[in-house]
Structure 1
């Protein structure tokens, strides 16, 4: 799997950047949902958690690609 991702042009740095962007999007989606929607803080928390779950996946793939690249 990592070989296919690497051959497709994906590098560890790309995954690390995606992980950090995911953390920022998690905070942004929570903040915007909390302040712009009338659904309450429960929905804002669910949005933040949903997007925040992507970050560890991106970091894990980045670590795997980094080891593959060495």
Structure 2
């Protein structure tokens, strides 16, 4: 299972959620940057923004899968620890 392997490699749900929020910012930044730099104008900027923006749902889904795995497979901590 991919989620188990990622968890064993040290990836936590918080990492995936952080990557999702960062990709939202990168989407806006790439759209703005592309609009200023690309001679193709708005159409190319829109494609870059959408391309990077599609990463966020993937990272959120991965974060949710990891959170569910963590909840089911990590030992419970005693109260006060």
TM range (shorter): over 0.9
1:57 & 1:36 partners in 2: Cα distance?
A: 28
Unaligned runs of 5+ in 1: none
Runs of 4+ in 1 over 6 A off after TM superposition: none
Aligned residues: 70
Indicate the residue corresponding to 1:17 in structure 2. Answer: 18
Report the TM-score when normalising by structure 2: 0.84
**RMSD, aligned α-carbons:** 0.6
Unaligned runs of 5+ in 2: 72-81
- The answer to which structure has the higher helix fraction is 1
1:1-70, aligned counterparts within 5 Å?
1-70=2-71
